[in-house]
Amino acid sequence: MKALKNYIDKIKPHFEPGGKLSMFQSVFEGFESFLFVPNTTSRSGVHIHDSIDSKRTMTVVIVALLPALLFGMYNVGYQHYLAIGELAQTSFWSVFLFGFLAVLPKIVVSYVVGLGIEFTAAQLRHHEIQEGFLVSGMLIPMIVPVDTPLWMIAVATAFAVIFAKEVFGGTGMNIFNIALVTRAFLFFAYPSKMSGDEVFVRTGDTFGLGAGQLVEGFSGATPLGQAATHAGGGALQLTDILGNPLSLHDMFFGFIPGSIGETSTLAILIGAVILLATGIASWRVMLSVFAGGIVMSLICNWFANPGIYPAAQLSPITQICLGGFAFAAVFMATDPVTGARTNTGKYIFGFLVGVLAILIRVFNSGYPEGAMLAVLLMNAFAPLIDYFVVEANIRHRLKRAKNLTK
Amino acid sequence: MGVTFYRIPKKNCNFAAKFIFYINMDHVVKIKKGLDIQLEGAPALEISNATESQLYAIIPDDFTDLTPKVDVKPGDKVLAGSPVMHDKTLTDVVVTSPVSGEVVAVERGERRKVMKITIRPDAKQEFVEFGKAEPDTMQASDLKALLLKSGTFAFIKQRPYDIIANPDTTPRDIFVTAFDSAPLAPDYAFVLKDEMTYLETGLKALSKLTPGKVYVGVSKRSPVPVKHGEVVVFDGPHPAGNVGVQINHIAPINKGEIVWTINALDLVFIGRLLEKGHVDFSRLVAVTGSEVTKPHYVRTCAGASIASITQGLIKPADYERRYISGNVLTGVNAGADGYLGAKQAQVTVIPEGNNCNEFMGWASLNPHKYSMSHSYFSWLLGKKRRYAIDARVRGGERAIIMSDEYDRVFPMDIYPEYLIKAILAFDIDKMENLGIYEVAPEDFALCEFVDTSKLELQKIVRNGLDRLMKEMN
């Protein structure tokens, strides 16, 4: 380590203002502080600091995302081999490798595009490189269908990072969740590639791996897609891609078609445990999103009219296990920058996210999934919620002063 | 323990209902939010005498907002209690010499700012005689004049703004904090054991200076047995000992109101003046921190050199150390050749840490890295474990990202993050509405410690208060 440190110290002058590589100063400092914790000591105020910094915070979130990501990779392979009828004779590792190879390019594209823009922006402003995109860049490939073209991810990521983040001032200043803006951009700019039956299961091969003929009766519709297009009233039976009925078990473990990282409620809950145990995410938000979703699902159940809104029949547990609901509750709504910041506000914010997600899902069949839109909509309202919470404190203070002058 | 418990009078109970509940329950205000940072080097309850300090220093910065006009020049003889400087606008507020001796230098920094006035002590100490006084029978104006000319008045602070008190104002109430909850802080019950008469006299004197009440905040863990004043018992982690937190829970400051605050250890100076007839700025100083061989209490005097206090007590080492006059949260980086601040009763010595190059520290699984959050594994080792934390910032400055971080260590009915943002935007209406008049920089010290974004919150608040004061006056 000493040699590395010495080497960094040796090349450092080139990156300082006036050095021949000074145009890469931010990038250099980003890597330097990535490798070695800066040993600057406090100049004002407190003499000691807590060990936590924003690198640690983001690292914890990425660790929490890993179970869902790894399961997502496996599920991509699982759905593919199920679709070509070769699941039984394919080994676990082949299935995983297929998914890994299908997902990896998306991760690479998202990071390269997003971090490239971040590095440039940091250098233009002569700022330190901020860590926020490390999480966003991981979230983006996890919330898109597996067959989303890479160039679309690149365009959408660039759009989100520039227009939803950098123009607002970078990490910590954005109003909307970056990953969800990416998702929304894709959804509205290329609707045919982001919904329907064609995109959630990879039917072709990946780098020549897993070629095969689709089995008879294959349908790539996600359970929520099935619910949204279910016509003619009658009982709603969700099925897997081969037409076999789905159990709650399948939905909870995540062996269903869907966006890459969102299918397994179990893997997401493991991430939730990591986020809550480390105290990085707010339990208030998480709990209230689930509470809001359950309450709204129950209301839908009571007033279910299967002929018009088939998804209203789904039980609260099914609703939570399907689509991006759990993922949004655990990883999206808990983004501290775009969500409510006061504790009272968090309960309201989370609850409304849950309610809106189910509301959109059930009553707007144009959008089979509502979690993304619910979080984005509540992102816009979070400052308003906080405003009223803080205003209550202000009123209480003014009242106190008034009582005194009486 | 001989502590008299007082019920807080009903008329002052117009703050949040839950606090009324706590007080009525058994007369103790419970502070739930906060953090006790367990550092190595807590002082043992033993006392030794410091070596004689070569020089004593008077540092104008110890008296916030005092614009010094120096009354002495190098070579002048002063007695203990002779004025050495006074405030430019509040000319009655003087700071007096803690010792008798000869003025050595008036050190100035940038833009001729007075940094410190140093005095070489005489072998035999002589005092300015002010005459003994009995506060009960004195006129308030005479008492105030006596405190002013003896230099003890300069130890009284006022809120709003957390500055030296203006003697021309009449405070609504006076708040005395009789414990310090900061890391490794001295135990006031121990330090004040032999000073109780002076403290009581001081409290009697304060009651003359306000038409309101003199509140004394004592700690439930180690209560100082005071008889005068309205005693309020506080129980909970730091910052329970901060007078701002106590005011917020007892009778918060409203716009237009002024309260005075003073630390019980500084109040002893007033008591001694009245009882003895001359100033006596001697005090017990807790020498603490992970770099101290035998942390304990040292008898010395305000303004003494850090070297004289810490001599023979520092572990041998080949790395840099940070000598703090005060505690690790609000103290001043005095340096090994610096001086004890006028209002400080603690010296903390910690490693500077500038020789550490921690490889990929953000990925560390080391349970010895302290963090309030559970993102590091120190919490698995339990709350009793003590840590040696050096002075590194441990991260780059960022925009505020995490929410609920400040709130968890800010036990006041105030939204700290919103107040900070209002200060940064310098939106005066908002600052007022969010409670700027109730806070001091020290109240944000723990927020600054736990801050993921590593913002210099105490500096932000101090600058905000200074600017606001200029705007309002």
Nearest residue in A to B454, CA atom: A53
Contact between A46 and B333 using a beta-carbon 8 Å cutoff: no
Residues forming a β-bridge with B117: B58, B106
Nearest 5°: CA angle at B196, between B195 and B198? 70
In the prediction, which pLDDT does A406 show?
A: 57
- Distance of residue A179 Cα from the nearest chain B Cα, in angstroms: 16
ipTM surpassing 0.90, yes or no?
yes
Query: Min CA distance, A25 vs chain B (Å)?
Result: 15
Cβ contact, residue pair A54, B395, below 8 Å: yes
Residues 379-398 of B with CB under 8 A from A: 389-398
* DSSP helix/strand/coil, B454: coil
- Report yes or no: B373 at the A interface, CB cutoff 8 Å: yes
Cβ contact, residue pair A41, B392, below 8 Å: yes
Supply the DSSP string of A257-300, one letter for each residue: -SSTTTS-HHHHHHHHHHHHHHT-S-HHHHHHHHHHHHHHHHHH
Q: What one-character-per-residue DSSP string does A98-153 give? A: HHHHHHHHHHHHHHHHHHHHHHHHHHHHTPPPPSHHHHHHHHHHHTS-TT--HHHH
Which stretch, A33-47, A191-205, B266-280, has highest mean pLDDT?
B266-280
CB of B396 closer than 8 Å to CB of A53: yes
Q: In a 3-state reduction of DSSP, which class is residue B296?
A: strand
Nearest CA in chain A to B369: A51
Task: Determine whether the interchain pair A39/B355 forms a contact, defined as Cβ–Cβ distance below 8 Å.
Answer: yes
Of chain B residues 232-291, which have a CB less than 8 A from chain A? 252, 254-257
Closest B-chain CA to A280: B375
Number of H helices, E strands in chain A: 16, 0
pLDDT score of B27 = 67
Q: What is the pLDDT of residues A306-318, one digit of tens each?
A: 777 888 888 999 9
Instruction: Report d(CA A96, CA B388) in Å as an integer.
Output: 46
Strand partners, B217: B177, B232
Contact B273, B150 (CB under 8 A): yes
What pLDDT does B392 receive?
93
Contact between B392 and A170 using a beta-carbon 8 Å cutoff = no
pLDDT digits (tens, 9 = 90+) for A264-304: 999 999 999 999 999 999 999 999 999 999 999 999 999 88
Of A44, A50, A54, the CB nearest to B401: A54
* A39 C-beta neighbours (distance < 10 Å), count: 17
The minimum CA-CA distance between B409 and chain A, rounded to whole Å, is 13
| B401 contacts in chain A (CB < 8 Å) | 54, 57, 132, 171-172, 336-337
- Provide, as residue numbers in chain A, all residues whose Cβ is less than 8 Å from the Cβ of B397: 128
Q: Of B393, B394, B398, which is closest to A172 when you measure between CB atoms?
A: B398
* Residue B360: predicted pLDDT: 84
CA nearest A383 in B: which residue? Answer: B418
- Number of other residues whose CB lies within 10 A of the CB of residue B253: 22
Are A339 and B403 within 8 A, CB to CB?
Answer: yes
With CA atoms as reference, the chain B residue closest to A174 would be: B401
Mean pLDDT by 10 residues, chain B (473 residues): 41 38 56 95 95 95 95 95 95 96 95 95 94 92 95 96 96 96 96 95 96 94 91 94 96 94 97 96 96 96 96 93 96 95 96 88 86 88 89 91 94 96 96 95 97 95 96 87
Neighbour order of strands in the sheet with B56-58: B56-58, B114-121, B101-108, B77-78
When pLDDT is cut at 50, 70 and 90, the band that residue A25 belongs to is confident
B404 in reach of chain A (CB within 8 A)? yes
Give the residue from A50, A280, A400 with the most B CB atoms within 10 Å of its CB, the best one to mutate: A50
Give helix then strand counts, H and E, for chain B.
11, 20
CB-based burial, B275-299: b 16+ in 10 Å, e otherwise:
beebbbbbbbbbbbbbbbeebbbbe
Length of chain B: 473
Q: Residue B24 has what pLDDT?
A: 35
Nearest chain B alpha carbon to A389: B415
Contacts of residue B357 in chain A, CB cutoff 8 Å?
1, 5, 36-37, 39
Cross-chain Cβ contact A55/B357 below 8 Å? no
Mutate to test the interface with B, among A2, A12, A35, A49 (most CBs of B within 10 A): A49
Q: Is B46 on the interface with A (CB under 8 A)?
A: no
pLDDT at site B4:
40
Binding-face residues of B in 287-346 toward A, CB within 8 A: 322, 324, 328-331, 333
Look up residue B162 and give its two tokens. Answer: 């957390």
Write the residue in B360, B378, B396 that is nearest to A53 by C-beta. Answer: B396
Q: Are strands B56-58 and B114-121 parallel, antiparallel or unpaired?
A: antiparallel
Q: Which helix (H) or strand (E) holds B158?
A: strand B157-159
Q: What is the pLDDT of residue B195?
A: 95
**So what's the pLDDT on residue A6?**
85
Tell me which DSSP letter residue B366 carries. Answer: -
Strand B174-177 versus strand B259-263 pairing type: parallel
Radius of gyration of chain A (CA): 23
CA dist B119 and A93 (Å) reads 79
Site from B332, B350, B357 to mutate, A interface, most A CB atoms within 10 angstroms: B357
Of A189-198, A240-249, B261-270, B425-434, the one with minimum mean pLDDT is A189-198
Is there a contact between A49 and B360 if contact means CB atoms under 8 Å apart?
no
Residue B407 sits at the chain A interface (C-beta within 8 Å): yes
Show residues of chain B in contact with A404, CB under 8 Å: 14, 254, 257
